[in-house]
Structure 1
Amino acid sequence: MSIALVTGGSRGLGRDMALKLAQSGHDVLLTYVSNTKAAEDVVAEIMAMGQRAHALRLDVAKAESFPAFFETVRAALHSQFGAERFDYLINNAGVGLNKPFQETTLEEFDTMLNVHLRSAFFLTQGALELLNNGGGVVNISSGLTRFSFPGYDAYATMKGGVEVLTRYMAQALGSRGIRVNVLAPGAIETDFNGGVVRDTPQMNSAIAEHTALGRVGLPEDIGGVVAFLCSDAARWITGVRIEASGGMLL
């Protein structure tokens, strides 16, 4: 039995990651911020596949809550999965910000810092006691660390930090056989950042024209890559950035 913990697993990319992990034979712990029904729906879908699943509330912006959160993880592992530890951590939860560099406020910058970079650092740190040797961590970044679009300055800066952090994590945790990699999706049709890519036809078409595979990405394009990285097939991959963008802006 293998157990994966997916933050932000109730919707969008996180939902597809949770489902693809379950399809690959993993039991799944997923977190959500406020939409309990959406999280319970994902749990029900996973259980219908014959895998075990459970949802826990977590606001990744509040690092001070992580010690208490991992006590709830410990309890859930015991009560829901009959386990003491889990195997894979997917640092996926996030929020968007589209604001010109000149207009970004300190509060907005700090939100991006807390949600994306501080959470990946301290949530992984807090997980180490419960994470099995030989397991793995997948951090979610963005294609925006390689190419630039106006207004994503703060968001992309934090994701760039996540990519550097991934290499350091891979080095730090390698002695335990824990692999750490980073996945960078391109533009995806979800409700992320107000659904701007999904719901703005002009933007959608423009991105598709600059993508080698000729379309904007779907959530279903991403979860399988996470499942691969959380499999024995990827046992010799660590400290690596994988971009899943369909060849955007090559």
Structure 2
Amino acid sequence: MEFLTMPEFKDKVVVVTGAAQGIGLVTALSFLNNGAYVAAVDVDREAIEDAMQDFFKGYEDKIEFFECDLQDASQIERVCRKIGEKYKSIDVLVNNAGVGSTKWILDRTVEEWDYVINVNLRAPYLMVKYLLPFMKEGSCIVNIASTRALMSEPNTEPYSASKGGILALTHSLAVSLSHLKIRVNAISPGWIEVSEYKKRKYRKLPDLREIDHLQHPAGRGGKPEDVANAVLFLASEKSGFITGTNLVVDGGMTIKMIYEE
């Protein structure tokens, strides 16, 4: 993996949700690689143990996992308090954790809708709410949305709605927190191949066809470090004049006009 080199993150404190797998795991690595401390939040104990053994070895003094079910508001409050008490000051919050639901609307229960909305949209709001007392001037928040906030596949209503909500939450928080000089931005990843960064029983090498790469205007599929590097940039001083925006990291797919022939 090739990460941006940003010495400014040395000894900074970064909170990453969903950090045991996928984009969250690689994002945590990108900050550790730049000398930061990472408070990693995840609900999957098996994934946490695998990640610590397989990806975070050598960083044990810089990363600590906090188990939390992000659909449970009381757990979020408790974990945020623990993180704040341990680190005293939070420099970056990356709201990455997310779940999906692909089901025909007549078959999807209200409980399934609520689960996706609670994890994907309510949890980021609550993470900000409960960590805000520990954030200071110059702190940054990066919310991971999705290109599904802008376009959809069939039967993904709760996921698309939650990610659209993340974009609105992002610009709303950017305005609300501006007097504290806290910037808030979003990233919308497209197709990012994370097969190599799952817990062991699901981990595999990517199996992408040439067409999978060539259909992207950028000429290749997405990698988790593409998103992680975008997070580093938006959390850095180099993006100090950027707030309330959504950075699309999708190899150009959402700008591509597609006609069926």
Q: 1:222 to 1:149 in 2, by over 3 A?
A: same
**TM-score normalised per structure 1:** 0.86
Task: Using the TM superposition, give the Cα deviation of residue 70 of structure 1 relative to its aligned residue in structure 2, in angstroms.
Answer: 2.0
The answer as to 2:21 corresponding to 1:44 is no
Structure 2 residue identity aligned to 1:144: R
Structure 2 residue identity aligned to 1:147: M
Q: 1:205 to 1:113 in 2, by over 3 A?
A: farther
CA distance in 2, matches of 1:207, 1:125: 40
Aligned to 2:117: 113
Task: Using the TM superposition, give the Cα deviation of residue 39 of structure 1 relative to its aligned residue in structure 2, in angstroms.
Answer: 4.2
Runs of 5+ consecutive residues of structure 1 not aligned to the other structure: 78-83
Task: Using the TM superposition, give the Cα deviation of residue 207 of structure 1 relative to its aligned residue in structure 2, in angstroms.
Answer: 5.1
Q: Deviations over 1:200-243 (max 9, x none)?
A: 86xx6665453212332121221111111111111111000001
Report % sequence identity.
30
Q: Is the 8 A contact 2:80 2:127 kept in 1?
A: no
Q: Is the 8 A contact 1:63 1:123 kept in 2?
A: no
Secondary structure of the structure 2 residue equivalent to 1:133? strand
Secondary structure of the structure 2 residue equivalent to 1:188? coil
CA distance in 2, matches of 1:249, 1:209: 14
Which stretches of structure 1, 4 residues or longer, exceed 3 Å deviation after superposition? 198-201, 204-210
Runs of 5+ consecutive residues of structure 2 not aligned to the other structure: 1-10, 256-261
Secondary structure of the structure 2 residue equivalent to 1:217? coil
Aligned to 1:190: 194
**TM-score normalised per structure 2:** 0.82
The answer as to 2:240 corresponding to 1:235 is yes
Q: Deviations over 1:30-54 (max 9, x none)?
A: 112122313423443535xxx7221
CA distance in 2, matches of 1:199, 1:111: 29
Moved more, 209-218 or 29-38: 209-218
Task: Using the TM superposition, give the Cα deviation of residue 151 of structure 1 relative to its aligned residue in structure 2, in angstroms.
Answer: 2.3
Structure 2 residue identity aligned to 1:54: E
The answer as to 2:36 corresponding to 1:26 is yes
Secondary structure of the structure 2 residue equivalent to 1:101? coil
Q: Is the 8 A contact 2:69 2:76 kept in 1?
A: no
Whose helix fraction is larger, Structure 1's or Structure 2's?
1
Moved more, 215-224 or 231-240: 215-224
Aligned to 1:80: none
- In the alignment of these two chains, the number of paired residues is 236
